[in-house]
Structures are given as C-alpha cells and as structure tokens.
Structure 1
Amino acid sequence: MKEFHPEGPQQLEVKHFFEGLRKYAATIPEKRYPHQNRFIALLHLLCDSVSKLTRKRMEVESQSAVCGNGCDACCYFAEITSSRTEFDEIRHYLHSNMAADACSKLDRQWFVQENEHSSAVQPCPFLLQDQGCCSIYPVRPLGCRLLLSSRKCSKEDESSGAFDSCQEWSRLGWKEMPLRPDTLMKALESQRCGKDFFEPGKLYDEEKVDLKAFTHQELRGMLKQVQSTQTAEAPMCLQK
C-alpha cells in the first residue's frame, strides 16, 4: 500500500488497503459493535474516538458538550443520512437484534404520524419517541455519531439556533487520528462500487440514504420482513 501524504494526490489500492486493516478490524468487540461488516465497525469505532477527543477538547475550551441520554433534538431537526454500506448494517441490525416490542413501538409511531400529522417536524423513523432513544444506536450512521452541541437543544424551538453548534467536532479535524475515518469511508464506498483504486484526498459525491425520506409503507414493509424472518429464523446475507 502506498504511503499516505495528505499534501499531495495519492491513489491507494482498495484490496491492499483492507488487507492491512483486516486483523485489526477482527479484534473489535462485537457486543459493542454488532456489525456484519467489520470494516464498518472499525469506521464507527474511529468516529466514536473522534467524538471522545472532541469532547475533551471542548472541555478544555470551556464549551463542554451537553449531549447525553434522553436528548433527542438532533433526531428531529438534523439531516439523518447514511452511506449505502451503513444502511446495509441498519437492515442487518433490524433483522438480527431488534426486539419484537421495539418493532411494534416503531410501527405504532409511524401509523400515528401518517394519520394524525401532529407535527410539522419529522423525526428520524428509528427514534423511540416515548423514550427519547435510538432503536438502532449500536449501528447508527457516521453523521449521528459526530453530532455534538455545546448548547442545550430544544426540539420545541427550532428557531433557537441550537443546532448551529452541532458540528463542534469539525474543529478537531482528522489529523489527530492515526487512521482517518473519512479515508476509510472512501475505501468502503469504493469497495462497494467495485473500484480497484481510490484517492484519499479527493472529494466526491457520496451516494447517501436519507433515512427520513422513507415512506411509512416502506418502513412497515421493512419491519414485516424483520418480524417474519425472526419467526422463521432464516439467515440474511448481505454483500460486504
């Protein structure tokens, strides 16, 4: 694998890039990162490390992150997207780990939203609204993992501007990480597209899945597949 120099354009061979990471990716604990694709597990572990470093940096600068359990404002107002490979992990998690009662709660939420139109703000479809927690938390996408705010958010007041500070992590950058998460994401997407090479420093239009764009019928169909598969205990195969 070619040595990476962020100052100049480089091309890395996808196959060799993953060969160098395979052993490390295999050591990631599955209980915390129950991903089928262990390279996605590694990507999310790196993002969590960036988030921890950013929290420490914010504390030093007297702007501690206020995000915590039960705070779900970003689930309502933030753009919720994932890469195609991350969405495969969400589907795999729904199949393998989602409890039947959680599926029922999500289904009821979608039914209420579709028929009552009680709110103009559309939350993430995988948010358990009565608990303020994420039903797919272990496999939540990169964008969710890197959202941090130094101000208390309020989903009752969208105009408060609280979400202007939800990208605090960007001040840290990726330079303090031994392996850049954005490089790994580019390699994963290149692998999914069947490319032999990728350029770590090159920006490209990543194919994204907007989780809020699914219709209630599509979401319910996904849950029905999960519930029927859980009953039959049939394996689900996803392309890595």
Structure 2
Amino acid sequence: MKWSRKADDEIKKVPFFVRKKVKKKVESFAVQKGKTLVGLSDVTELKKKFLSRGGMEKEIKGYEVSTCFGSSGCPNTANSCTRLAADIEIIFEKENLLAFLKANVSGDLKFHHEFRVVLADCPNACSRPQIVDIGIIGAIFPGICDEPCTFCGNCVDVCDENAITLDKGDVIPLIGDEHCLMCGKCITACPGGTLQQKEKGFRVMLGGRLGRHPRLAMEVVGLHTHDDVLHIVQSCLKLYKKNSKNGQRFSHILSSVGQVIRN
C-alpha cells in the first residue's frame, strides 16, 4: 500500500521494534476507510486511539517473534530461519505469556513487557537480534573438501572478517575459526568447490535489551541445530516464568540468577 511522504515520515518516529506492527495496523485502518493511500491523518487518528487508556494493551499478545527480510530473496542468507520462526511461534502460543503477564504485572501492559525473539538469516543481522530477549542468527560454517584449490583468492577477497588466509606454501585455504562469522560467502565465491558447507545451524544469543541500561545479548557457545534452538527457547521460557516478577525483563533475570542456558 502506498504512503504519503508526511505519513511515511511520521511512522519512522515509531520505535523500530514495533514499527512493522504499527505500520500494518495503520494500513488496515486505512483500508477499512476505503483508502488506497495512507495519509498523515490516518497515522494521527490511529495514534490517538492507540495511546488512549487501554488502547495499547489491546494490541499486546505477550510475545513477539519477528524475522529479517531474508525470505524475500536477500542474497546474504546463510541459513533460512523461516521454519524455525514458525516452530518458535507455536511454542509461545502454547505458553500463553499474555495470561502470565496479566497475572504478574501491576497496571496496564505495555509493549516492553512482551518477550521478544528476533531471527536473522545471516550475520548482517538487519533485524537486530543482539538487543532482544532471544536472538537467533542463521549460520553456515565452511570446510575444506578434496577438490584442489586453484588459489584464485576469491574467498580471501569476499571475507569481511579476514578469517581466510591463502598462501601458496599451503595446499588449502586456512580458516580462522575465531574470526569466522559463518556467513557462508566464501563457499559461494569458491569456483572450484574447495570450500563447502561443513556445518549448518544457528547461533543463539540471550538477554539483550535497550532502554535506560542497554546490554548486548550473550552468545550461547556453539552452532545449534533446529531442535537445539527449540530446546533453548523452551528452557528460557521456563526460567523466565519461574523468576519474572512484575514484568521483569529476561536479561535482568539472567543477570540475577547467574544461570547459563545450555542445550
């Protein structure tokens, strides 16, 4: 749906973590009025309803699972999170966090009370998984196969982390595990097939947040399978529901409990 320039400028003032949700709501609101163009008046009118007493609480479902734009054809995709996001959504639906929050939070619920999971298909992490309760990044770790290296240098040129070295004194490229972000770009760039997928999975980060005291999420060591991630999510929710009081964020719980989630 098309937006007027003023309406588009106004929606950009909405915090990014709810902007997509609010934008969809505005478009639906405009369609109900028979419009094909979203104007500033539509944004303003819905904003008044939204900020009225109890208006925000009607839109809260207790959690949010969101993804990046990788599924729409992003060339940087390392490992698609689409199916994983759907399975995580099922877990949250069963947990009924909305009822939990209503029973444990005094006063009106707000969006910052929701438990957030953000998934990204590659380490570029456009969806910002590092600053939410659970962040997940699709990853693919390169390995060396039997195909002889042509020493073309494509893998070295394409690696933004300088994780690959190529010396003609060596028989094969050398991959520095400590620098590799598992984006898989070197595999795609290798014309002879010397570099191929060794392991595919997901990186998992826990306990990120913004606000007055922001903190980046802490990574759970290792490359995790689809089922591993689901197990980690379930463990996190169990810990959260056991310890959260009055809407306390998951990151604060991790700090106070001092517990590391392991699969």
TM-score (norm 2): 0.22
Give 1 or 2: higher strand fraction. 2
Give the greater-gyration-radius structure (CA): 2
TM-score (norm 1): 0.24
Kindly indicate whether structure 1 or structure 2 has the higher relative contact order, using CA contacts under 8 Å at least 6 residues apart.
1
